[in-house]
Each structure stands twice: as structure tokens, then as C-alpha cells.
Chains A and B, each alone.
Chain A
Amino acid sequence: MAIRRGLGIGSMYYGIGYGFSRADIGSAEIEMAEDGTTTVYSGACDMGQGVMTVVTQVAAEELGIEPEQIRVVAADTGSTPDAGPTSGSRATFVQGVAVQNAAAELREQILDMASRMLECPKENLVVRHGQVCEIESGREMVSVGKVAHQLHFHGRRAAAWGWHDNTTADVDPETSQGDAYATYGWATQLAEVEVDTETGRVRLTKLVSATDAGKAINPVAVEGQIEGGATMGLGYGLYEQHILEGGIPRTNSLAFYLVPTAMDVPDIECEIVEVPDPRGPFGAKGVAEPATIPTTPAILNAIYDAIGIRITETPITPERVFFAIQEARDRGEFEED
């Protein structure tokens, strides 16, 4: 057999959000109806990765109500405020804080009214699971729905607006010195590969991804981002390439442009690391891009570990590895079995 195994690691840091003095904002409106059900008008696009879920969890936590009581209306210039794009791994980090701000203000409105209704100092009250409770005894005093009803009845707001500005100054134009980003994402991955020295074919047989989520607001969603990101990284490293000839794409079909399938992807082990960042909601940072960046470098380093050859060009196709082995052989530098 001409299979050799190797291990490699790749690390990265990634400035989260926009940087370069580009507007990096989040905003949301939150409104409680007379039965306690709550709507968050959130400008952030959910791509399926779970921004809506993060918005729901942040609002539920901050407000003290149940996620089931919350509905999110998302990303429509006709009904939601501008929350910036869902890109740059920024949605949780930036929009999460805007939602938290809005929910905190609404909670104060509720506690103010509850304190009047119950004739009890506000400091002694807290909202938990949709009920205004007495802190000391934990006793449930009144539901948030009843309080919201009273607010409406008295012509008061049961609605709040949250804004968060994460815009950073641009770096110096000559030296690029300066605080480029509000925060950074961090990740290290370990790849195990098998290299077939006869064909040049490389297989990723194991991947461990240690990704710093700050605080994983929804661990399954974070794992989903990590596994999907690493798979895209694997595609970048080994399979996918847009080939242009004279400016014209030859890879104009998925028959030629190869995306990894379930057979190409090993089990990905997610190690969620949590180094909280006080500027994110509950310490959270974005993970979308940190999850995808280290994979190809880890594979490149694992290939070197396996066969002692440094590949410097991507994607790492069988031809490229095969010829690199041939050249090393010609130079008498290839370690034969």
C-alpha cells in the first residue's frame, strides 16, 4: 500500500464585523402584546445558521420570558430597522447586543408598571419565565401579559428600540496601525490525512475543530456552523476550483465544479472553546468564518507531515500532489517506503 498518514494543524484569527470605519450597526424593535407574546423586529437576515434563534434566545433571556412567547420578524426594509448585513461573522456579535438593549428596556418598562400594580419596590422584582416574581421569595406575582395589558390600558409603551454601534476607526493609511476590529474570532483545527503516494490522492480522515465562540448561545447551532464551515474549508483545500480559460469558466456545471459530498467529509469533532468577550451578547462572538479558515492550512500541514512535501498551491488536487512527489523523487528527496 502506498498510503501515508499525517497530522497537521492550522490556526487563525479573524476580525469580527466590518472594521475599516465601515458602519457596523445593529438595531431591533421589540414589542409585547397584551397577552405577553412578544415580537422582535430584527433587521438581521437569517441564512439558516440561526440568527433568528439567537435573537429569540437573547430576548428571552434578557426579558425573562419563554422563547415560545417570541416571534421574530426579520430583514425587511418595510417592517424592520437596519441591522447591517449578515456577514463578517458579525450577526450574533453586533445584532445580539442591539436585541439585548431593546429587551432590557422593555423589561424595565414592565418592572416599572408591575411595581405600581403590586405596590412593591421595583428593586424587589424580577421577571422569570414570563412571570414577575418577588426576588426574595421567588413567588410569582403577576404575568408579563397582565402587566403589558396595564401598560396599554394606561397609554404607556410596552415596546422598545435597541441600537448597537460596533463601528471602529480605520487603520492608518500608511502603516495599517490601529484598532482594526472590535474583537477577533479564534480557532485551531487538527487534520488527519491519508496521502496515496501512487495517485497523489489526499483524503481527510479526521478533523477536530477548536473554535472560540466566546459563549455558545446555542451549542447545536454553533456546531452546525463549525461542521459546515470546515466542510467548505475542505472543499477549498481538496476539491473545488473555478477554472477559467481566457476569462471563460470551464467549470460551469456541478459536474465539473466539485462540492464535497457526505462521502468526502469525515466525522468532524467540535471542541467549542469559550473565552467570553464582554462586548458580545453574554460574551458571544461570531464563529462562521473562524470555522472555515483553518481547514485548508491544517490539511496542507498534514500532507507535509505525511510525505515531507510542501504544497504551496491550492486546491490540492491529486495531479498536483502526484507531480510534486515525482519532482521530489527526481531530486532524490522523496522518502521512499
Chain B
Amino acid sequence: MKQRYVLRVNGRGMEAAAEAHESLLDVLRENLRLTGSKKGCNEAECGSCTVLLDGRPVVSCLVLVPDAADRDVVTIEALATDGVPHPIQRQMVEQGGVQCGYCTPGMIMSAYALLLDNPDPTDDEIRFAISGNICRCTGYGKIVKAVRAAAVEMKGQAGNGGAAS
């Protein structure tokens, strides 16, 4: 039996008709056509479906739709603002952290969650934060570098913003 669920995705209220056993990932991808979150395993092992749920990173293939109802979901599609990529996105490109790109959205969401929590992480903290995200192409080094560079850039932006206002 399909039911209607109200989800708050990327700051907007959205309705989806789904069965209670369907995953948030499937609803995002199929009902809402937000396909930036990838399905690398559907068994909570690869991290390619990572989104933020009330500010915490979760593997959305493991979250049932009813458990996401009336909570804040943030997906990769919301990270760029007005067409300007988020610093993590830009640094991933610049540092060579993107190859096939299939892990990339989930990886960026894990890194985004980390930087929300900890704006100045060590490399070990970055590695730990993305350890649930498998990347088969890059060997992770350039991803760690990109997250570190993004953290520096974001602190700089925050600092400048403060000075200017």
C-alpha cells in the first residue's frame, strides 16, 4: 500500500507516494528524480547514497521513508548556491579528487557533514569521516587534499565575511 509522505528536501516541502518499506534513496531517486545520490550497493556498505538527515550524514539506502518524514534532508543537489559550486565541490575538481565520479556525491556529502561539525579537521579526521565512502578510482589521497583545501577556503570566507560586515 502506497502512502503519502511529506519530506523536507533541500529546504523545500515535497510529497511522495511510497510504500513504508521503501528507502529514502529510492524515493529521492525515483519519486523526486534527485539522482545525484547514487546506488552503489543498496546495503549500507559503500556510502555512495550519503545525504544529510537533520544535519547528520546517513546512508539513505538504509533509511526507510517513514523515518525521514518531517525531517530535513539535504542532498548533493543543494550544495551549489545559485550555480556557484560549494568549495568542497570546486576543490574536488581542482585537486583531482574526481575520476569516474560515482562515489563523488556521497563523498562530498560526508565531507560536508564533517566540515559543518569540525571546520578545521586533521587529515586523520577527514579519513575517518569518509571511511564509509568507498572510492575505487582515486586511492583517496586527492579527496583528503580537496577536503583540507575546502576547509581552509571556507574558514577564509567566514573570516572575510566577518571583517566585511
Contacts and interface: CB of A to CB of B under 8 A. Distances in A.
A and B directly contacting (CB within 8 A):
yes
B41 interface: yes
Nearest to A266: B141
B144 interface: yes
A255 to B, nearest CB: 6
A230 B159 CA distance: 39
B142 A227 contact: yes
B43 A253 contact: yes
B139 A227 contact: yes
Contacts of A231: 138-140
Given A223-B142, A228-B99, A255 B136 contact: no
A254 B41 contact: yes
B99 A49 contact: yes
B45 interface: yes
A223 B96 contact: yes
B127 interface: yes
B50 to A, nearest CB: 13
Nearest to B127: A262
Nearest to A261: B131
A248 interface: no
B137 A254 contact: no
A255 B136 CA distance: 16
B139 A268 contact: yes
Nearest to A229: B139
A263 B131 contact: yes
Interface in B87-129: 95-96, 98-101, 126-128
Interface residues of A, number: 25
B52 to A, nearest CB: 19
A113 B82 CA distance: 44
A221 B96 CA distance: 7
Nearest to B102: A48
A263 B128 CA distance: 6
Given A254-B45, A262-B127, A265-B141, A232 B136 contact: yes
Contact of A48 (B45, B131, B137): B137
Given A221-B96, A253-B43, A265-B141, A259 B134 contact: yes
A6 B23 CA distance: 47
B131 A49 contact: no
B137 A224 contact: yes
B55 to A, nearest CB: 22
Interface string A207-244: 00000000000001101101111111000000000000
A265 B140 CA distance: 8
A251 B137 CA distance: 21
Interface size class of B (residues with CB under 8 A): 20 to 34
A224 B128 CA distance: 21
A165 interface: no
B132 interface: yes
A228 B139 contact: yes
B143 A262 contact: yes
Contacts of A262: 126-128, 130-131, 133, 135, 140, 143-144
B17 to A, nearest CB: 30
B25 interface: no
Contacts of A224: 96, 99, 137-139, 142
B100 A48 contact: yes
Given A220-B96, A261-B131, A263-B127, A253 B139 contact: no
B46 interface: yes
Contacts of A263: 127-128, 131
Nearest to B130: A262
Contact of B99 (A48, A232, A253): A48
Contacts of B43: 253-255
Contacts of B138: 224, 227-228, 231
A267 interface: yes
Contacts of B41: 253-254
B139 A230 contact: yes
A194 B145 CA distance: 25
Interface of B: 41, 43, 45-46, 95-96, 98-101, 126-128, 130-144
Interface of A: 47-50, 220-221, 223-224, 226-232, 253-255, 259, 261-263, 265, 267-268
Given A48-B101, A49-B99, A259-B134, 5 more contacts: A228-B136, A253-B45, A255-B43, A262-B131, A262-B133
6 closest A-B pairs by beta carbon, nearest first, are A227-B139, A48-B100, A231-B139, A48-B99, A254-B45, A220-B96
